[in-house]
Structures are given as structure tokens and as C-alpha cells.
Structure 1
Amino acid sequence: MTFEDLRDYIDFMSKRNKIIQIDDEVDVNLEIAEITRRATYMHLPPLLFSKIKKYENWKIITNIFYSINSIYEILGTNNLESIGENLLNNFKDMPLSTIDKIKSLPSMLKLGKITPKLDKPKFKETNVGLNDFPALKTWPKDAGRFFTYSLTITKDPETEVNNVSVYRIQIINDKEAIMHWQAFKRGSMAASKYKEKGITKVPVAIVNGVDPVIAFTAASPVPAGLDKYLFAGILRGEGVKLTELDNGILVPSTAESVIEGYVDLNDMRLEGPFGDHLGYYTPPDYYPVFKLEKVYLRDSPIFHATAVGKPPLEDAWIGKASERIFLPFAKMIIPELIDMNLPEYGLFTSIGIFSIRKNYPGQARRVMMSIWGTGQLSFLKFIIIVDSDVNVHDINQVLYAISTTVDPVRDVLIINGILNDSLDHTSANPPLGSKIGIDATRKFKEELGREWPEEVKSDEEVVKKINPIIEKIKQQYLP
């Protein structure tokens, strides 16, 4: 699907009566977040707030990713796996290893109309500060107002790959904000490369109000090394239009607002607390400070925000869509993988259920290790491996598999002192924590010590005979 910008998307949804315009005066302090959370829980369409207390020149849009159907609308398809499959089909006949194929993605994708293109900006420089942005205070004990769905854009100083990510950003004053990029996030890793080169002022742009396809890409686990603008071009079917800022950062030329500046790695300040997607306040910790140099706005700008908290909120549906889009990538890396389920109540970085085609003893543990070594799947605390005939999206089938295949001493693997999500408050010393893997597959003789018992099955002739009787009963007694 191709939207010119956020306004084009709003027009698209308005024509389908799928924008809820709220003309009552609302406050960025708690009120907008409360309305947004309730709307998301009810799967209501996006909310457009037209009267913001103390921010008369702005509108705010929230709840863009209100359900899995919202992703279908934005991407123009409900077959999300086909997106990854079509991309990887380019490599089907190439005699390359899995690693070589992944490394070849960027060069292959630079061909064609999906390549980013330079364009004149629709925004212009203006004299405003960070406090002039209608950022939200989401929960009562949050440390202040935060950008919750602004895009942080950096460039790798070695590869020049553009990274577009969503990090929360706490406003301190008109010129400074705290950048919450965790050590293993791309922005932070790029910053480490700058620091190795003796550069402590990392060029950064904070962008808000873009085509929702770009916004979705920013929050997605795009394979490492792949330029996110390129991937957004794949999803859009058309290259992203970009403008280069004075600090060398490329930003979408149709953005509603752009804040140009740098992150000062020598200036670390206490950020938080913040009520995050785990449903708890993350305690204060030290992160580097972003320092504003210039601000650009479109006329009558629209601010995009989200409200986080206990699932399922917007991040749940972004995660579920990412699960489907990137399943083909996971299958390429782990050939025996059949399907995966990252349950929305498992927070997408906590619990993962995977089905495999099992061919040899010990295979489930081998797959666990592969998953823990693969991109953002490496953050999973709980991995459950089941056989190929188990529907990973049916929790009852998964529970049955665990109940009938698992001996805890033999089939449960616990690893300590390994990387988890930094926001995980259950760990004593985050981001280090522990992980658990459960092998809920049927066991080979080498694993069990004897042959696996035979499963019960009905007699086929009896089934054929009684089927008509069952049909009569169903017609008579079932609604």
C-alpha cells in the first residue's frame, strides 16, 4: 500500500468512516493516553484529537495500529507472510548459504522502484522548542512528558545504513531530552561505533507524523544490516522520499515534524520512571541526552502518539504482524521451523511457541539455541518447541503437548547470565537474566530410553459407519 504521507492515510481512513474525531478539549497530561488505551482495548479505529489544551496549533492522532486489521489496511494485504516470501524468492535459485543470502539483501534491494529517493521537504524550519510539542504523559507516576511514537533516525558510521527506530524520549526542557536507547538497540550500537572513532556527538533526527507504513517499519524487527528505508520501500511498493538534513541524517520529506540535533554520549542523565508495555513502571536509569539544534514543521502539524501499558495495546498488533511477515526469514535461518506464535499477552519478547519438523534426537534443543541467536527472537525468555502437527496458535493444543511429552528434569533447559530485555523488571541485574526452553516434542528412543508409546486412534471402518449417525445428532441437537 502506498500513502503519500500521514495526511493521505487519514483521508483514506476518513472516507471509510474509520477515523474517530474528538473535538472535546483534552489534555496531554494523562487524558489522551487514557482515552487511547480504552479505544485500543475496544479495537476502535484511530482517534484524531482536534482540540488540545495549551497546544492549539496541533492535532494528535493515536491508535493507528488498533488491531491486526489495521495492519491489513495499511499494508493492503491480509497475507502478511507473502511479503517475506516474495522478498526471499529473489534468492531461491541462488547457490548461496543462508548467511550469504542475508548479507546480499541490501545490494539486491537497491534495484528498482523501492529505492529511497531524495525530494524537497514539505516541512520548513521554525523557531519552537521541545516543550512546544504535544508529547504525552501516559501514566500518573511517569517522570514527565514523553515522545512515545516518534522515530529516532541514525546512520551507521561504517556502513551508512539508515536506522529508523521507535525509542521513548523524555523531554527535559526546550533544548534537551533523554534518549532511551538500550545497549543492544541499533541506535545505541551505531553510537558505540561513533565513540570508537572518538566522536561523542552522534547525529540524530527525531521525526514524527509519517506514512504509517514507515511508522510500522520503524517498530519492526528488520534483519540487521538491512536499511529500514529500503524495507519500508518493499512494504510500500515504492521508494521512500527523503530529505537530507544539515547533520547528514536522511528523513522522510513528508514528515509532520523533524527535530535535528545530536545525542551527547558524555552527558548521561537519569531517565524515568515510565509506565511501559510490561504494565509496570520501569525504574529510573541513566541514558544519554539529545540536544536540539533545529526544528522543522509542516503547516497545522499532526502529532502521532501511542499509549503503552498492559496488553493488548498497539504494540501487540505491530508484534503480531511482524511475526507473520518475518516468519519466512526465520524459516530460512532455521529450515526445520514450521510455524511460530509470539502471543500478545506474552509481550513478544517474553514467550515464543515454535513448531518444528523433528527428524533426530536433540533437535528441539538445537532449535532453541538457533532461536536465541536470531535477531530480536534472542530476547525471548520462554521458548516452547512442539511437533509439526501441533497448532502453535491453539494454546490448548500446546498445553496438551507439554502435558504429554515433557519430563521436567529431562526436557526443561534453564540458562543463566544471558541477555534479556532491559525493561524486564523480573531480572536482578537487567539486561542480564535467565531463559527457559521446554522441549514439548515426542521423544526418540535415544531421548526417552525406550520407544515412544503408540497414540490412540479410532478404527477407520467404525468411523465411516457412525459418521451418518453423528451428523443426524448434530442436526437435531446442535444450533
Structure 2
Amino acid sequence: MAFPDLHSFMALLEARGELLRISTPVSSDLEITQIADRMVKGAGPALLFENVRLMDGSPSAFPVVIGLMGTRERTALSLGVGDLDELAVRVRALIDIKGSGGLRGLLSNLPKLGDAAHLLPKRVSRAAVQEVVWTGDEVDLTKLPILKCWPLDGGPFVTLPLVITKDPETGERNMGMYRMQVMGKNTTGMHWQRHKTGTKHLEKAKKLGQRLEVAVALGGDPALIYAATAPLPPIPGLDEFALAGYLRGQRYPVIKGVTVDLEVPANAEFILEGYVDPAEEWVMEGPFGDHTGFYTLPDLYPRFHVTAVTMRRGAVYPATIVGRPPMEDAYLIEASERLFLPAAQLILPEISDYHMPPVGVAHNLVVVSIKKAFPGHAYKVANGLLGLGQMMFAKVIVVVDDDITVNDMSAVWQRVAQLVEPGRDSLVSRGPIDALDHSSRTWSYGGKLILDATRKLPEELGSALSSREQQGDQARHTQLGEKDNISAVQLNRELPTFEGVKDQLQTPDGYWYVSLTKTRPHQTAALAAAFAADPAAAGVRHLLITDDQTDVHDAGDVWWTILNNIDPERDVSVQGDLLVWDGTPKLPEEGFVRVWPPKINMKAEVVRRVEALWHLYPLPEHLRDA
């Protein structure tokens, strides 16, 4: 389904009761974030703020819309499908091109080739996004209601930008979503991480001794907004406009920029045109409350100079927020899961399904189910995934049999406790890590963990790494025995107390959650050894030690903290029958040379201010107490 522009999608949502207009005055400085955060965590509607105050307190000429794809259902609707699983069906049909069967076989491909024809964008001569043009001294980004999202952010950030560049040598186009901190009236930071295509384009421009032209679109068909986040494979001719064209079933309309030689989406709300000069010194950007739920600390990034701002009349400023999961980006990640599942199965056909749950904030955790056929099959698949595009950033990969539903995390972790023997079925390696990962041994490079939670074949049992008799081990895996798990009776036993332990909980499926007030180096290692030796560890398979801000009674909070705070090579160890996960902040005395960032929390005064006005917002009944 093709939406002519963002307004048509908003109109559809409003008609379905999925978009609310809020006329109560609200500030772009933290308040919109607090309201939107409560909405997305309550599976609430998208919000159109019609009365926005800018950072200086003056009224904005532009409304703000946020949370457009803040539920699984709205994300599916934005991409023209009834359910996100339909994306895999469509792609599977497209890539299943038959080359045999004579004339009849070839003719069967015609409908698929017709879909592929939608991949090319369509150049137009006039566009709504160029109805109003600011150039020269007229350019003033402070007139846009750009949000300051979290208290420690370095300033306002453009959070939903579609950043367009061209390879200076090949002319191939790229579009990515890279946050942009406003540095002045006509400059921003450009958060191009080292693995991103924008960085590669800038490096080529530097070698050629030229500036890199950049255009940033805000808004457009939701399919294009999604496409800018999609991890596209490096296939010539396949870019984000092509993906959006395929998803919408219609070629995407583009127009040449006013001051740059780049094609931009004709149906966007705003376009920021300009350049990045590779010869210029980089600017300090951040901090930023990131999608990990932690702050990304300040670092040097290129500076973007804005030479023109074009917009449609009656433009709406689109935004999103990221932070502690679940957030809107979780549904965009799920869309990518579904869209690229057939491609992964084309390379690794034994994959039944895979899932990147919100607690793993994309790269920190991947669960994959397989049709297991031989010893070591789980490792073959996990290592294969680590070689596929952006899947190289995966930190923890859990492999299960295909009788497990990969997005049922309770079932997944139960199977891990049942079938993963620490040391034998846990494998640590190294590789590239997401540049936003704060816990890795060095920036963008660190440890990885593979957990083989499949039923073991005879060849996989009784190795030198095993601490059990092969006969008992075989029975346990054959029956998925629960004899090693903690019984309800055992849960009532008294747990040991050690220095610094704030709270702890043992679960029936073999996990021990501990929150620790860490006061000295190597405190966690000593604690883990003491816990492992205690009789209370009987039947426990995983000891998860977190910081004292973590609620051990909330499994999601525990796993989110653990997965963010571990470098598996350094922080996951075997203690007897226990696999110990050290999810505490690391100290300089422990060899951690970078600064450990804080978790994202909103200012109490902002929470109180929003709470005082909550009754004025026209919210559905079930969200009034959210």
C-alpha cells in the first residue's frame, strides 16, 4: 500500500483511533519524551502535538507527530501488510525465481518481475516538499521543534532523519538513519559510525579532496522511514528507495534537491540540504540517551552544514524517541526480522525462525531455531549468522530446536536452563561489536557468546568439558528432564546473604538473579565463587549479577541490564555447574579504560509536571492510569 505522504497515513490512523491530537501546550524540552514514553510502553496511540513550545519557550510554527509505528499493528499497517509475518511471505515469493519448466516456468515469474519493477524510484519535476524554501540567513534549525529527549542529552537531536548520500566514485545512493545533534542555526553533528555506509562515502570524498553533499529528509511514506533503518545487503541497484518502492507496490517519487545534486523524496515534510567537509575538524557530539537504554557518551563526529531547508506548506515535524525498551524501534527491528528471514534461510536453510527481542536492543541477543541434523549444527548456524551483514554485531546467540517459538522468551530461557551445560554448550569468541556498545573490551570490538540449547546428540555428550556422567546427561536431554531445576519447595529455602547484595531471586526454571551494590574491584568474582559454593546453588544453572538499580523481580529488566553490561569474553564464566553473567558496571581497576555510562532516567520534576497535566490529554480510558 502506497501512502501519498505522511499526512495520509496520519489521517488513516486518526480514523482508526490510533492517533490522538493534543492541544495542551507541551515543551519540546523533555516533556514530549515523557508523554511519548508512557504511550509506547502502554501500547498507546500515536500522538500529534499541536501546541509545541520550542527550547526557548516560544511557540513552534510546526506541530510534532511521534509514535507513528509504536505498535506491531501500526508498523504492519505502515508497510501495507496485515501482519509483519506477511513481509517474509512476500520476500520469499520474490526471491523464488524459477529458471526451469520451459515457457510455462518462465511465464510464472512475470508477476514477481512486475513487483521488482517497482524498485526503481520515479523522478518528478515538482514536489510539495519544495513549496517553501529557506536559504542563506533564512536557515535556522532552532525554528523547528527538534526534541531534547533525555536530561543528560548534549542538546536537541533530530531522531527520525533519512540521511541521503552518494558514493563519490560509483554514484550509488545510500539512505540511513543517523541521529543529528543540533549545534547551531545551520549546523548539526552527523553520527556516522565506523561501519556505516555514510562513513565510507565520506572517506572516499576525503581521498578525492571534495566535500560530500548530504540531504536529510524528514517524513514521507512510512515505508521509506522504515527502509532507512533496514540492514540492506550490498546488492548493486538495491537501495532504500528501491526497498520502499517494493513495499509500497509503487515507484517512489523523488526530485532533485535545490542546492545539492541528490534525489530526495518528493513527498517528505522537510528536506535539510547541505554538505560535510572531510577536511574539517570533527565536532564533539553527545551525550545521547540511546536505543540501548544507556547514554552514549560524547565523541567526535563530522559536522553537517545546512545550506537550505525546504518544506511543504502545513508541514508536520516527525520524531521518535529511543531509550529503555520497549520503544518504537523494537517494531522496526521486528519488521527487519520478518523481511530478511527468507534471505537468511536462502543461505542457511536449516533456520526455522529467528528473533531479536526488545531486551536485547537489536544486536545484544538473537534467538534462532533450527532443524537440527548433525552434531555441532547449532554452532554452524550461529557462526553463519555472525557472517551475515549487520548480524556480525550480535553479542549473544541462543540456538534452540524448531519446537520452540523464538519470541516466547520464557520458553527459550527455560530450554537454555534445561539443555545448556556451562562450558560444554557455551562457546565464547570475538568479533565486531556495535559501536554503541559500552561494555565491549575496546570500542566496537569484543566478545561473543553462543549457547547451544538444542537437544544433544550422542557425539555431543560426555566430552572432557562435561562434569556429568554421560548416562545421566543423555537421559536429561532425551526427556528434557527438570530434575536439575529448582522446585517450588526449594524456592522457599533461605538464600545466603553476602556483602553488597541488595536483593535476589531464584526462579523455578534455574536462574538466580542478584542485584549488587558494587563498591570495589573484583567484588563480583568473589561473590560468584561464594554463591557457586553455597548449597542454595543446587539446581541453579545461571547466576545473573546486576547493578543495584535493577529490579530482580522483573526478568526483562534483569536481562536488559545483563545483555548491555557484558562483554562475554570478560564477563561470562563457568563456576562449577553455574554459568555466571557479570552484568555490573566495570571499574578502571578491573582493566576497563573507558567511562561507564549511566542508565537513562527522566528528571523527577518533568515526570511530576507531566503527571499534573495527564488528565488534560484526551487519552483512552485504559491509558489514563498508565
Query: TM-score scaled to structure 1, two decimals?
Result: 0.88
Which ranges of structure 1 fall in alignment gaps of 5 or more residues? 97-106, 458-479
Matched residue, 2:529: none
Question: Alignment partner for residue 187 of structure 1, among 179, 198, 204?
Answer: 198
Q: Do residues 239 (structure 1) and 251 (structure 2) align?
A: yes
- Contact kept, 8 Å, 1:343 with 1:351, in 2: the verdict is yes
Gaps of 5+ in 2: 101-111, 463-469, 481-626
- What letter is aligned with 1:146? F
Aligned runs of 1:103-118 on 2, under 5 Å?
112-118=117-123
- Counterpart in the other structure of 2:64: 60
Q: 1:388 aligns with which of 402, 418, 423?
A: 402
Deviations 1:64-119 (A, max 9, x none): 111101112212323434334433434434569xxxxxxxxxx9789524421011
Find the residue that maps to 1:383 and give its secondary structure. Answer: strand
Query: Would the alpha carbon gap of residues 306 and 79 (structure 1) be closer, same or farther in structure 2, given more than 3 Å must change?
Result: closer
CA deviations over 1:203-248 (Å, ceiling 9, x no partner) = 1111112221111111122223321100001111111100112422
Amino acid aligned to 2:231: P
Q: CA RMSD in A?
A: 2.2
Give the secondary structure class of the aligned counterpart of 2:87: helix
| CA distance in structure 1 between the aligned counterparts of 2:72 and 2:250, rounded to whole angstroms | 23
Equivalent residue letter for 2:461: L
Q: 1:330 to 1:36 in 2, by over 3 A?
A: same
2:244 counterpart letter in structure 1: A
**What is the deviation of 1:14?**
2.0
Match of 1:7 in 2: 7
3-state secondary structure, aligned to 1:345: helix
Task: Determine if the alignment matches structure 1 residue 415 to structure 2 residue 421.
Answer: no
Cα drift, residue 164 of structure 1: 1.7
The residue type paired with residue 24 of structure 2 is D
Paired residues in the alignment total 445
Counterpart CA distance in 2 for 1:331 and 1:131 is 47
Separation in structure 2 between the aligned mates of residue 360 and residue 158 of structure 1, nearest angstrom: 46
Q: Secondary structure at the match of 1:355?
A: strand
Query: Residue 22 of structure 1 corresponds to which residue in structure 2?
Result: 22
* Equivalent residue, structure 2, for 1:89: 93
Aligned to 1:468: none
Q: Which residues in structure 2 correspond to 1:58-457 (within 5 Å)?
A: 58-94=62-98, 112-119=117-124, 120-124=126-130, 125-126=133-134, 127-196=138-207, 198-225=208-235, 226-245=238-257, 246-266=259-279, 267-416=281-430, 418-449=431-462, 452-453=474-475, 455-456=478-479
Amino acid at match of 2:363: T
Find out whether 1:47 has 2:59 as its counterpart.
no
Secondary structure at 1:187's aligned position in 2? helix
Q: Quick one: which amino acid aligns to residue 223 of structure 2?
A: V
Secondary structure class of the residue paired with 2:117: coil
Select between 79-88 and 310-319 the one with higher mean Cα deviation.
79-88
- Partner letter of residue 24 of structure 1? T
Q: Residue 455 of structure 1 aligns to a residue in which SS? A: helix
Which residue in 2 is equivalent to 1:101? none
Residue 428 of structure 2 aligns to a residue whose secondary structure is: strand
Q: Is the deviation greater in 179-188 or in 401-410?
A: 401-410
Structure 1 residues 137 and 93: CA distance shift in structure 2, 3 A = closer
- Alignment CA distance shift 1:110-1:3 (3 Å): closer
Higher relative contact order (CA 8 A, sep 6+): 1
Q: How high is the TM-score relative to the length of structure 2? A: 0.68
**Distance change in 2, residues 1:317/1:427 (3 Å):** same
- What is the deviation of 1:156? 2.6
Counterpart CA distance in 2 for 1:259 and 1:398 is 45
Deviation at 1:342, TM superposition (A): 0.8
Does the 8 A contact of 1:383 with 1:436 survive in 2?
A: yes
The SS at the match of 1:220 is coil
Q: Percent identity?
A: 35
Q: Distance in 1 between matches of 2:223 and 2:95?
A: 25
- Match of 1:339, SS state, is strand
Query: Where does residue 102 of structure 1 map in the other structure?
Result: none
For 2:128, the aligned partner's letter is: K
Identify if the C-alpha distance between structure 1 residues 356 and 251 changes in structure 2 by more than 3 Å, giving closer, same or farther: same
Question: Secondary structure of the equivalent of 2:478?
Answer: coil
The answer to whether the 8 Å contact 2:139/2:186 transfers is no
Cα separation, 2, equivalents of 1:75 and 1:111: 16
Contact 1:320 1:344 in 2 (8 A): no
Q: Structure 2: how far apart are the matches of 1:331 and 1:375?
A: 14
Q: Highest CA radius of gyration, 1 or 2?
A: 2
